[in-house]
């Protein structure tokens, strides 16, 4: 997004709030924009992208890279003097479903188990009764089935494609297939389907307001512990070192 893009330790991030993100996406889809990616930046991804130049370039070409992580917001303040607000990808997806209901945009969900996929679609329809029929596909497709799935997506041409395969799998899937997809906006949403379906409890609001959602996720999802234990300290050290250099 011209005018909002900044760099945190060499990684792209757009400085905008939730209203700004929704407005930019609404204008782009309304103007007929196609194959627009909305990706999330957080400390773990900064560390990972530093080791993956190809994926880093993919992020740099995204329509929006939202500051989904309090560490990114703090880094923007310390390194660039920029006041930013966190834009959680889970919240953005649900706001976009509300937008889709109001504007008549179509929605497709890709990811999760069959049960999670079904329950997510039902819950979104309950929350937004005017939402168009939701297309969906669970995330357990093998490569032999992928070509048919891409053809199916191109037949329905959804305005919003939400990909919930977890990171980095979802970003790799989007990077690989985007150029062939007849879609409007594609957002990687991680485990958001699970929280909408109710199979995973989302971080309590008071912890989210304190920017501690990552702590809750690590303690309730032990499989994330090793990745977070490596990435967050490394990110913090690099930010603090860069901030000290900036002051000298």
78-121 tens-digit pLDDT: 999 999 999 999 999 999 999 999 999 999 999 999 999 999 99
Domain limits for position 14: 5-247
Question: What whole-number distance in Å separates Cα of residue 109 and Cα of residue 130?
Answer: 17
Letter string b/e over residues 158-181, b meaning 16 or more CB atoms within 10 A of that residue's CB: bbbbbbbbbbbebbbbbbebbeeb
193-221 tens-digit pLDDT: 999 999 986 556 555 555 556 555 555 55
Q: Which long-range contacts does 227-232 make (Cβ < 8 Å, 24+ apart)?
A: 227/44, 228/44, 230/47, 231/43, 231/44, 231/46, 231/47, 231/48, 232/43, 232/44, 232/71
- Helix-helix angle 89-103:18-30, to 10 degrees: 40
Q: Kindly give the confidence (pLDDT) of every residue in the chain, 248 residues in length, as a single tens digit, with 9 standing for 90 and above.
A: 556 899 999 999 999 999 999 999 999 999 999 999 999 999 999 999 999 999 999 999 999 999 998 999 999 999 999 999 999 999 999 999 999 999 999 999 999 999 999 999 999 999 999 998 789 999 999 999 999 999 999 999 999 999 999 999 999 999 999 999 999 999 999 999 999 999 986 556 555 555 556 555 555 555 555 566 678 889 999 999 999 987 76
> Whose CA is closest to 120, among 93, 88, 153?
93
First to last CA, the chain: 32
Cα Rg for the chain, rounded, in angstroms?
18
How many separate domains does the chain show? 1
- Helix-helix angle 225-247:213-220, to 10 degrees: 150
Length of the chain: 248
Model confidence, pTM: 0.89
């Amino acid at each position: 997004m011209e005018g909002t893009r900044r760099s945190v330790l060499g990684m792209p991030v757009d400085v905008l709030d939730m209203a700004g993100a929704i407005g930019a996406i609404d204008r782009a889809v309304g103007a007929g924009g196609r194959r627009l990616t909305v990706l999330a930046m957080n400390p773990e991804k900064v560390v990972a992208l530093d080791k993956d130049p190809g994926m880093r370039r993919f992020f740099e070409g995204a329509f929006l890279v939202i500051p989904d992580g309090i560490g990114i917001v703090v880094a923007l303040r310390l390194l660039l003097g920029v006041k930013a607000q966190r834009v959680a990808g889970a919240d953005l997806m649900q706001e976009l479903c509300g937008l889709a209901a109001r504007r008549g945009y179509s929605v497709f969900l890709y990811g999760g188990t069959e049960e999670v996929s079904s329950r997510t679609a039902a819950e979104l329809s309950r929350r937004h009764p005017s939402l168009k029929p939701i297309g969906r596909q669970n995330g357990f497709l093998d490569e032999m089935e992928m070509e048919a799935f891409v053809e199916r997506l191109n037949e329905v041409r959804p305005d919003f494609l939400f990909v919930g395969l977890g990171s980095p799998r979802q970003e790799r899937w989007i990077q690989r297939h985007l150029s062939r997809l007849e879609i409007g906006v594609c957002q990687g949403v991680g485990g958001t389907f699970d929280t909408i379906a109710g199979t995973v409890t989302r971080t309590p609001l008071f912890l989210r307001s304190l920017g501690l959602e990552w702590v809750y996720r690590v303690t309730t999802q032990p499989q994330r512990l090793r990745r977070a234990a490596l990435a967050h300290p490394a990110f913090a050290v690099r930010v603090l070192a860069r901030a000290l250099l900036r002051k000298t």
